[in-house]
Amino acid sequence: MQLQQSIVTAGGIYKRYSALLEKLGINTFQDFLYHFPHRYDDFSQIKMISALIPGETITVKGTVLSIKNSYTKSHKTLQKAVVTDGTGTLEVTWFNQPYLTKSIKTNTEIVLAGQTERSGSRTTMLSPEYEVLSSSNTETLHTGRLVPVYPETRGISSKWLRRQIFKLLEQYKFILSDTLPSEIKQQYNFLHLADALNLIHFPNNYEDVEQARKRLAFDELFYLQLKALHRKQMWKQRKLTSPLKVDEYRTKINTLINSLPFPLTKAQSRELNSIFSDLQSDQPMNRLLQGDVGSGKTIVAALSIYVAILNGKQGVIMAPTEILAEQHHKSLTELFSPLGIQVDLITGSTKSIKNKELRLKNIEGESAKSLILNPKSNILVGTHALLYDKADFSNAGVVVIDEQHRFGVEQRALMREKGNNPHVLTMTATPIPRTMALTVYADLDVSYLDEMPVGRKPIKTWLVPTEKRKGAYQWIEKQIKDTRSQAFIICPFIEESENMQSVKAASVEFTRLKTEVFPNLKLGLLHGRMKAKEKDQVLRDFKDKKFDILVATPVVEVGIDIPNATIIVIEASERFGLSQLHQLRGRVGRGDKQSYCLLFAQAKNEQTTTRLKAMEITHSGSKLAELDLQLRGSGDLYGTRQSGYKMLKIASFSDKDLLMKARTAAKMIYSKIENYPQLSAQLLELNAQKISQD
């Protein structure tokens, strides 16, 4: 059996359980070995029965004197066994497992593990882990040791997983190939892969766990880095026949910059220069522009596109939603139409309008295509759906992807296939900590707008105590009336994906606010289960001031621009990461009026209060991301899950030391990758897939 073999094809028990295993992410034999315990039960202490005291977690070995089923009044069954080890007898009870009397027979040797309890004057065990010993089964897996406890699913218990994994480890331990170069293993004193896998599942002590974890975590980071380096290399390898010219057009570029109603910030000029030097190179740019909400990424993108146009090429800009695409279309039209540059918008809606017109005129096929791909358009603005559209990017010199966290490696690769190696600029308003970016975005060049345009007022942020809720509502109503501004109220974040429960919660909250709290104001509702069109309509209505307050689930996080909204209320704010709160907060403060962010928390303890208080004083997205990483680990870091990046299994982005080690090692190895045939073969496989999976 190959490690990569799908378990379904192996038949037997694997096939039978495959649907359940899939739920745990186990599809191949390798996945089995990499299904790591999330904790261990410490049953390593073995004691004599006579020495047992209630309330300890221990293992007992003995002979079964008797076992029988008995029935309770409610027709449930109990299994009672008496076990002796010569020093005394122990009574053990299980519940509703009538088959136990078949698997545990009188006179067999048994090992029991769990917590002891008091029963009258005696010590007993309820539902202990058990293991029947026989001549063929001498090594205990479920008792008498650190016992691995796994992520489970209904129908697949840790006990079952333990047995399978143990069996597979036995089978593979001599043939498991370890592709981590031995010089690296030596340098860092790492275990061999087979040992690491063995010990992560069946350690003798916690030191073993740590040793194994370190090695496996290193692997994870090392291979991520190696793949990223390879992707970077592949991207750069495609040489451009005609690099874009910048110096020739300096005067024109400067004229446009000088015509802006504001001077560029130092950060904008600096990053623009990096981009310009990318554009002049004969390798396609693959750059990520990070910058807080409002830091002015759009103008940087627009000026990059301008270079393409001056060079006789087109520009493309993609946004995650229709409404954002419309916003870009509007602002780019304002900027470029005086220069005679045409900006076109393609979204689901505009397309269906055009299609309808076409149908009326009875035009089909090729001519329909040519109308959509207006050859006269210099700049094409659309949603990410453009990628899957017929639109032709072959003359695109620069492609900009806005709000990159919705956009993964896969799409970047797809876009690249579609175009003719365009320069690509991705933009995100959710900066991630530097060390993490080095891994997650290692294939990109990263720019950061670390400076806000002058005159921006920081959003006043308060963590509101529960007793001030009513007062806060009154204040909001007054603000809305006095300053004719609008407010967002963000309902609790319930699940990663928006499910019916959170939709229901939002609707209930909406009704409560509408009828009980703000009967004198107009309220709208937005949630993730609405169709894209409905959502866009609600946002448009809000923008047109058809209502004062928008009650929403956290779907509003992506960069919608409603300059008249100056208040955002976030309920159950402790459930969000700081970066995400910051992102939500960025929905306001877009105009020149003072804006406010009110945080409510349901569960308050000192830790959450301290964490949330950081929002009051910190206004930098990257600082908050750094804090998030320290306080909650990378699992919660906003944007990482959506980025199409499968989260790390065992390594952590907060382990800076290991991260840097992996990075150094990967660079060193990649520089002479030809010496490592197995590793190069793996990377070549990556090429073949085109789209890399991390």
Beta-carbon-side half-sphere exposure of residue 313 (alpha carbons within 13 Å)? 26
Shortest Cβ contact with ligand ADP: which residue?
Answer: 296
C-alpha Rg value of the chain to the nearest Å:
31
Interaction residues for ligand ADP, span 395-434 (CB under 6 A): 429
* Per-residue mark of binding to ligand ADP, 542-561 (x: CB under 6 A): -----------------x--
* Residue 295, binding choice from Mg ion, ligand ADP, none, Cβ under 5 to 8 Å by partner class: ligand ADP
Nearer to ligand ADP, 449 or 665 (CB): 449
Tokens of 53: 């005291």
Please tell me the number of Cα atoms within 13 Å of 400 on its side-chain side. 32
**Pairing between β-strand 445-449 and β-strand 314-319 as defined by DSSP bridges:** unpaired
State in angstroms the smallest separation of the CB of 648 from Mg ion. 29
Fill in the DSSP letter of residue 3.
T
- The nearest distance, CB 384 to ligand ADP, in angstroms, is 16
Residue closest to Mg ion when measured from CB atoms: 559
Please state the closest distance from residue 413 (CB atom) to Mg ion, in A.
23
How many Å is the maximal CA-CA distance in the chain? 97
Give the nearest distance from C-beta 319 to Mg ion in angstroms: 8
> What's the min distance (Å) between Cβ of 27 and ligand ADP?
40
Q: Which residue of 453, 528, 633, 644 would you call a contact of ligand ADP, by CB under 6 A?
A: 453
CA distances 304 to 63, 311, 530, Å, are 79, 11, 35
Query: Which is nearer to ligand ADP, 295 or 634 (by Cβ)?
Result: 295
Choices 46-54, 264-272, 624-632, 650-658 (CB under 6 A): range interacting with ligand ADP = 264-272
Instruction: Count the site residues for ligand ADP by CB under 6 A.
Output: 15
Q: Select the span of 259-267, 278-286, 377-385, 503-511 touching ligand ADP (CB under 6 A).
A: 259-267
Q: Does 265 bind ligand ADP (CB under 6 A)?
A: yes
Alpha helix (H) residue ranges in 451-531: 469-483, 500-512
Residue 348, contacted partner among ligand ADP, Mg ion, none, CB below 5-8 A by kind: none
Nearer to ligand ADP, 266 or 667 (CB): 266
Least Å distance between CB 36 and ligand ADP? 39
Q: Give the residues lining the site for Mg ion (CB under 5 A).
A: 559
- Please state the closest distance from residue 451 (CB atom) to ligand ADP, in A: 9
Do residues 140 and 41 make contact, with C-beta atoms less than 8 angstroms apart? no
Amino acid at 409: V
Pairing of β 565-570 and β 486-490: parallel
Nearer to Mg ion, 284 or 559 (CB): 559
- DSSP 8-class letter at 6: B
What residues contact 324, with CB distance under 8 A and at least 6 apart?
383, 402, 403, 558, 559, 560
Helix or strand run (H / E) with residue 678 = helix 677-689
- Which residue bears the tokens 């010199």? 397
Q: Which entry of ligand ADP, Mg ion, none binds 299, CB below 5 to 8 A by partner kind? A: ligand ADP
Based on CB atoms, which residue is closest to ligand ADP, 264 or 631? 264
The two beta strands, 146-149 and 39-42, are antiparallel
Buried b (16+ CB within 10 A) or exposed e, 471-481: ebbeebbebbe
CA distance 79 to 67: 7
Specify the DSSP class assigned to residue 125.
E
Q: Least CB distance from residue 265 to ligand ADP, whole Å?
A: 4
Whole-angstrom Cα distance, residue 42 to residue 114?
9
Nearer to ligand ADP, 144 or 291 (CB): 291
Which CB, 453 or 633, lies closer to ligand ADP?
A: 453
521 binds, among ligand ADP, Mg ion, none (CB under 5 to 8 A by kind): none
Of 160, 143, 139, residue with least CA distance to 151: 160
Does residue 262 touch ligand ADP according to CB under 6 A? Answer: yes
Per-residue x/- track, 270-299, ligand ADP (CB under 6 A): ---------------------x-xxxxxxx
Q: Which is nearer to Mg ion, 542 or 670 (CB)?
A: 542
Amino acid code (one letter) for 315: G
Nearest to 651 by CA among 685, 694, 599, 608: 694
| 62 or 559: CB nearest Mg ion | 559
Q: How far is the CB of 584 from Mg ion (least distance, A)?
A: 15
Overall residue count recorded for the chain in this entry: 694
Tell me how far, at minimum, the Cβ of 348 lies from ligand ADP, in Å: 22
Ranges within 620-659 binding ligand ADP (CB under 6 A): none
Q: Which of 174, 204, 208, 205 shows the shortest CA–CA distance to 191?
A: 208
* Pick 140 or 404: Cβ nearer Mg ion: 404
Give, for 470, the enclosing helix (H) or strand (E).
Answer: helix 469-483
* Residue 377 touches which of ligand ADP, Mg ion, none (Cβ within 5-8 Å per kind): none
Q: Write out the DSSP string of 571-629.
A: TTGGGS-HHHHHHHHTTS--SSS--EEEE--SS--HHHHHHHHHHHH---HHHHHHHHH
Closest approach of ligand ADP to the CB of residue 482, in Å: 24
Nearer to ligand ADP, 213 or 297 (CB): 297
List interacting residues with ligand ADP (CB under 6 A).
262, 264-265, 268, 291, 293-299, 429, 453, 559
